[in-house]
Every structure is written in structure tokens, then in C-alpha cells.
Amino acid sequence: MTRAREHWGSRLGFIFAAAGSAIGLGSLWKFPYVTGQFGGGAFVLIYLLSTLFICVPLFCAELLMGRASQRSTVGAFSQLARHNQNWKGVGWLAIASTVIVFSYYAVVAGWTLNYVLLSLTQFTKGKSPDEIQGVFAILLKSGSINVLWQAAFLLITAGVVIGGVRKGIEHWSKILMPVLLILLVGLFCYGITLSGFGEATRFVLWPDFSRLTPSGILSALGLSFFTSSLGFGIILTYGSYLKPAESIPKTAIIVLLFTLAISLIAALMIFPIIFTFHLPPSGGPGLLFKTLPVLFEQLPATLLISTAFFLLLVFTALTSTVSLLENLVANCMELFNWSRRKSVWWTTCLVFVVGLPSALAGSGALFPSWVEMYGEDFFGTISNTWDRWFLPITGLLTSLFVGWKIDAKIRKEQILAGSHWRWFFYPWLFLVRWLVPLCILIFLLQAAGILNIESA
Ligand code: PHE
């Protein structure tokens, strides 16, 4: 028996849901610190170009696969590949990426919940900067606390996804995204009042190419992939809920411009604080959880600012984890004919179990010799390996699949349906066939050490 497929109730609902998936810890946590590490404006420019010329075409490709097949990841590859069922493997690779990335993403998302509670209990009060920063190390070492927050975050995500496409994801995205925007704009306005705002704007928006390194270019490419949620089949699944009257190019551009704007606002919110307090802009991954609470303590209204900031992170992480879970659920419902409820609980349990080594990574409770063996803890190993390799590989295969393999008529029909932009088709096809795969290939060869444009 086949179930009638749910569809988004409105275009705005879809845009909020897709932008909710894309805007996450990648934009708010990773983008600012990586921008800091790679020298600011020029890196931002490359990130922008990569989002527009690589991610937009791929985003359209995933959307069109979902809408044309009316299936989720695995089913879409299987149906559109026609005779060559090997392509289904790309769908399974995307599912594996979803499980793995979700498993550690839920741990970081759990930290954001933990910091909301810490903010409410005013954990910075009467502590020296070293003691405040030390709280993060205590958290990392405490396996059971990590597991508690990881489980809590997964349960909240399951609670949203169980409601289905319209009543769950669309409904909550429409509530959470505006709240997120209000919080972000509020904190951004606060940043404007700080003395370091001018310097921050120059740092983020003025491209100084002398600071740009080839590895910076590659990182910008990788980050744009991650923040656009590409390579997981998530956008594909969301595309399968898209009505035929919606224009794929238009929605792709709106969603990704929205994501770009949020990443920029996030950087323009964080850097004024960094410059006002004379901290190095290259503070690294600890920037958010370690450095910012030290600064919050020096500001007026610590309780309010700190709680608002970490709540903002919770909301952005939630709209992303919702999309990760929906991708798994939609595939289970389709492949095994399970109910939504059953799919939600089984996949949530799976992700919880797979995430346990990441949650326990800092405590050494599991695999105590991991660091000695692989140079970084389990969490670091898995997140770095997966992001660098499997997302771009899936993206590369998807672009080749859509550019060369699928039925040309379906491809054209889907890009033109509901769209007034007839001119868009050929430039898009060129990008999907040539530019996107070539750029990703260079990225992979550089990461593999086969190509070294750094010393070229
Ligand atoms: N795009 C999200 C972010 O920037 C990460 C993510 C990847 C979310 C894949 C869902 C799926 O944080």
C-alpha cells in the first residue's frame, strides 16, 4: 500500500523549513571562527561565490530529484537511474552521512542546551576568566552529562518530527525561524553599539587577498557545502514535498541567500565583541562556548544576553536536527513501509547509540586509547573525516547523476516548472555538468594530498 505523500502547506513554510535546515551551528558557530582563522573578507568572498555557483546548482539538483521522483533519497536515485541500480548506492551513502553527522551534531546541539541551563544558573558569576573557560573542559570530560543532553536534544527533535511535514516540521519552523531572527537581530544591534563594530565590519566585509591561502579557499568550499545541508539527501527529501507550481531556481536562491545573510549577521554579531575586548579573531572552535561567556560576564545584563544567545543556538540546531531526522524517517517509511511513529523512534534510538562514542569521547570512558591511536578523540576523528570526504563525494556523484544520467526531459521540465526564468536552464546545466564536479574534484584531490595547489 502506498501512502499519499504530504506536501508543504505554503511556499513560506517550505522556505523556513529548508532555511532552518541550512542555518545551524555551521552558520553561527563554525562560520565566524573559520572566517577568523582564514583572515576575514577574502575568505567570506570565496564562501559567497561557492554558495552561489556550486551550492545553488546542487541545491536545484537535489530539489528536482525529489520532486520528479516523489521519493526520498534512496528511492529517488533508484527511480531516476532507471536501469542502472548501482546509483542507489549514492542514496545509501547520503543516508550513512545523515546518521553519522546527526550522531555528533546532536552532541554539540546538547551542549547548547547545557549552556542555556548554565546561563540561567549564572555560572559565570564570581568566577575568574580561567574558571569560566574551564567549565567547557569539565563538560567535555563528563560523559554522563553529555549523554543526558544528547538524549534530551534527540527527544525534542523526535517530538517535532513525529508531527509530520505540515503539523510538525512546517509548523515549528514557522515559529522557530522568526524567533531566531528576532534574537539574532537583537544581538546584532547590541554589537553595533560596541566600539569594535567598525573594525569588525572591515574585517568581515573587506577582502584582503594577501591573507587568502589555497587551503582557505578549500575550507570555504567545504563549509558552504555543510551550511547548505548538501550531500545528505535532505534537500532532496524536502523537494519531494514541494508542489509542482513552485519554482525550483527561485526557492533555491531565496533559501541560500537567506542562509548567507544569517552567516554574515552571525559574524557581524560576534566579531565586534572580539575586537572590543582585544581578543585574537582566530580563537578557534572554542570561541563560542569558552570565550563568549567570559565576555558576557563583563557586559551588563549577563543573564539576559547569555541566555538569549544560547537559546538562539538551540533553535538553529533544532531546525537542522529536525531535517536530519526527517530524512531518515522518510526513507524508513518508504523503504520498509513503517509508520511515521515507528520510524521516528527506531531512527532516534539508532542515532543515539551511534552518537554515544562521540558523547563519551572527552571522558575517555569508551575507547580510552583512541587519542593515542588516531591523534584526536573519537568525536574529532569522525567529524573531520566525514565532512571532508563523504559530503563532497556525494555532492560530486549527485551533480554527475543529474547533469549526465537522468532523463533530459525530466531535468528540463523540473527546472522550468512554475518558473519565469527560462534563461536559467542552460547556465545551470553547464554548472552542474562541469563547474560543480570539477571544483569538488579539486577539493578532494587537495584533501587527499594528490594535488597541492598550496605550493604550486
Ligand atoms: N546546515 C547545517 C548547519 O549549518 C548543518 C546540517 C547539515 C544540518 C546537514 C542538516 C543537515 O549547521
Using the mean position of ligand 1's atoms as its centre, give its distance from the Cα of residue 319 in Å. 9
Report d(CA 175, CA 327) in Å as an integer.
21
More confident residue, 280 or 35: 35
Report pLDDT digits (tens) over 378-409: 888 887 777 778 888 999 999 999 999 999 99
Residue of the nearest CA to atom 11 in ligand 1? 229
Residue 68 has pLDDT above 50, yes or no: yes
Which of the four pLDDT bands, split at 50, 70 and 90, describes residue 285? low
171-192 and 302-335 helices cross at what angle (nearest 10)? 150
d(CA 178, CA 19): 11
pLDDT over 50 at 1, yes or no: no
Closest-lying ligand 1 atom to the alpha carbon of residue 317:
12
* Minimum CA distance residue for ligand 1 atom 9: 229
Q: What is the pTM of this model?
A: 0.90
**Cβ proximity of 105 and 324 under 8 Å:** yes
Residue nearest to ligand 1 atom 10, measured at CA:
320
186 CA from centroid of ligand 1 (Å)? 23
Which of 51, 227, 318 best tests ligand 1's pocket when mutated (most atoms within 8 Å of CB)?
227
3-state secondary structure of 9: coil
The predicted pLDDT at position 303 comes to 92
* Cα–Cα distance, 231 to 97 (Å, whole number): 8
Q: Which of 51, 229, 262 has the most ligand 1 atoms within 8 A of CB, as the residue to mutate?
A: 229
Cα(338) to centroid(ligand 1), Å? 26
Q: Bin 101: left if φ > 0, else alpha if -120 < ψ < 50, else beta.
A: alpha
Q: Which residues line ligand 1 (CB under 6 A)?
A: 21-22, 24-27, 101, 226-227, 229, 232, 234, 320, 323-324
How many angstroms separate the alpha carbon of residue 423 from the centre of ligand 1? 30
Mean pLDDT for the chain overall: 89
Question: Which ligand 1 atom is the nearest neighbour of the CA of 22?
Answer: 1
Look at residue 456 and tell me whether its pLDDT is greater than 60.
no
pLDDT, average across residues 149-168? 92
The string of pLDDT tens digits covering residues 309-323 is 898 889 889 989 999
pLDDT above 60 (res 2): no
Q: How far is CA 16 from CA 8, 314, 366, 437, in A?
A: 11, 16, 39, 28
Is 86 a residue whose pLDDT tops 70? yes
pLDDT of residue 159 exceeding 80, the answer is yes
Contact indicator for 228, 148 with CB cutoff of 8 Å? no
Q: Output the nine-digit C-alpha cell for 73.
A: 533519497
**Gap from CA of 72 to ligand 1 centroid (Å):** 18
- CA–CA separation, 195 and 204 (whole Å): 16
pLDDT attached to residue 363? 87
Find out whether 41 and 203 touch, Cβ atoms under 8 Å: yes
Q: Which atom of ligand 1 is nearest to the CA of 228?
A: 1
The number of the ligand 1 atom at minimal distance from the alpha carbon of 327 is 11
What 8-state DSSP symbol labels residue 6? Answer: P
Give the pLDDT band (50/70/90) at residue 75: very high
- Residue 107 · residue 150 · CB < 8 Å: yes
Ligand 1 pocket test, candidate residues 320, 328, 391, 394, most atoms within 8 A of CB: 320
Percentage of the chain surpassing pLDDT 90?
51
Q: Is the pLDDT of residue 157 over 90?
A: yes
CA–centroid distance, 386 to ligand 1, in Å, is 13
Q: Find the mean pLDDT for residues 335-360.
A: 96
Per-range mean pLDDT, top range of 187-201, 206-220, 249-263, 434-448 = 249-263
pLDDT given at position 218: 76
Please state the rounded mean pLDDT for residues 65-73. 95
What residue type is 302 in one-letter code? T
Among residues 187, 255, 369, 244, the alpha carbon closest in space to that of 17 is found at 255
Residue 418's φ and ψ, nearest 5 degrees, are 65, 10
Q: Which atom of ligand 1 is nearest to the CA of 24?
A: 12
Return the higher-pLDDT residue of 172 and 321.
Answer: 321
- Torsion sign over Cα 325, 331, 333, 338: negative
Higher pLDDT, 290 or 124: 124
C-alpha cell of residue 58: 546542487
pLDDT reported for residue 3: 60
Ligand 1 centre distance from Cα of residue 278 (Å): 31
198: CA distance to ligand 1 center in Å?
30
Mean pLDDT confidence for 179-183: 83
- CB neighbour class for 256 (10 Å; exposed up to 12, middle 13-18, buried from 19): buried
Q: What is the mean pLDDT of residues 242-250?
A: 91
Question: pLDDT for 26-62, tens place per residue?
Answer: 888 888 888 888 888 999 999 999 999 999 999 999 9
- Distance of CA 103 from the midpoint of ligand 1 (Å): 12
Distance 77 CA to ligand 1 centre (A): 22
The residue whose C-alpha atom lies closest to atom 8 belonging to ligand 1 is 320
Asked whether residue 76 carries a pLDDT value surpassing 60, the answer given is yes
277 CA to centre of ligand 1 in angstroms? 30
What is the distance, to the nearest Å, from the Cα of residue 449 to the centroid of all Cα atoms in its chain?
26
Spatial distance between the Cα atoms of 89 and 84, rounded to a whole number of angstroms:
11
Cα 125–Cα 126–Cα 132 angle in degrees, nearest 5: 70
Question: In angstroms, what is the span from residue 163 Cα to ligand 1's centroid?
Answer: 21
390 vs 254, residue with greater confidence: 254
Q: Compute the distance between CA of residue 401 and CA of residue 277 in angstroms, rounded to an integer.
A: 50
Are the C-beta atoms of residues 342 and 40 closer than 8 Å to each other? no
One-character DSSP codes across 39-70? TSHHHHHHHHHHIIIIIHHHHHHHHHHHHHHT
Substitution site in 58, 93, 226, 394 for ligand 1 pocket (most atoms within 8 Å of beta carbon): 226
At residue 329 the predicted structure's pLDDT band, cuts being 50, 70 and 90, is very high
